[in-house]
Amino acid sequence: MTMRTRVTTLCCLLLVSMSSYAQSPADRLPQGARYVALGSSFAAGPGIPRQLGICGRSDHNYANLVARALDLSLTDASCSGATVDNIRNTPQNDMPPQIDAVTPDTALVTITIGGNDISYTSSTFACSGTAADEHCTANLDRAAIDDALEGLPGELGAMLDEIESRAPRATIVFVNYPRMFPTNAVNCSELALSPEDTAYLADLGQRLEDVFIGVTASRRVPVANAYVRAAGHGPCAPVAQRWVNGATVAVNGSRYHPTAAGHAEMARLVLDVLESN
């Protein structure tokens, strides 16, 4: 082989390699590829038609919408009430840990988890509708919530490591919780919370978001950041623009959970991430 031939061959190999590297994850997801969805109620879609099984899963949650858009083979393991432990090692509702659905041939994994670990949604439920001067959140075990927040990065990191170990070639996308409390939330009657409770829960939601961003950034896991993109689409927005319900169900979904429109937008964010990474 002449020097010129060797150089030409090397250039061709480099071009092939660069072309392969430049492919987006969506390009690397052939029709029928295995897709596993993990998470809690914010992934499952309680109250959104049509409901499937006992976990509050909807056939129009964001995972199902993504699977249809890309023609993927979906295993939806999400379940209302799930914590990180229910993904990693703890059965729920007589079902195995969600991570058992992740196999070596899995091509895509989406995850929405963490709120139940710090009693975020349950605290919102507990304080909803209380009198304006009761300061319900002052009676919460805030020390335990702070401890859970401090431990959550390690739990999420271990979960991501285990998923990568089980499916080393899979694309993992973390889907954050849509933002429930806008900056002017204390003036929002749709939340049915006192100003003090609203301020505490809004701060808790922001701290949870900060954990998600820190953990995913440290592992270079792409994020479909519904928290940021949901600005102006929370419970205080006009009904037609809501991604998240407040104390009452405006159209569909569940209280303090994403609407069908919210899941459609979360699916769009996942697709955008897959196209851009």
Per residue in 35-84, pLDDT tens? 999 999 999 999 999 999 889 999 999 999 999 999 999 999 999 999 99
Residue 26: per-residue pLDDT? 52
Domain-embedded: residue 17: no
Domain-embedded: residue 12: no
Domain-embedded: residue 68: yes
pLDDT of 251 strictly over 90: no
Domain-embedded: residue 102: yes
Contacts of 271 by beta carbon, 8 Å cutoff, 6+ apart = 26, 66, 69, 70
Domain-embedded: residue 21: no
Per residue in 258-271, pLDDT tens? 999 999 999 999 99
- For 172, the domain range is 27-276
Q: How many domains are contained in the chain? A: 1
Domain-embedded: residue 256: yes
Is 198 buried (19+), middle (13-18) or exposed (0-12) by CB count in 10 A? buried
Residue indicated by tokens 């919408």? 65
Residue 147: per-residue pLDDT? 98
Q: How confident is residue 12, by pLDDT bands cut at 50, 70 and 90?
A: very low
Domain-embedded: residue 181: yes
User: Mean pLDDT, the chain, as a whole number?
Assistant: 90
CATH number at residue 94: 3.40.50.1110
Domain-embedded: residue 254: yes
Q: What is the pTM of this model?
A: 0.89
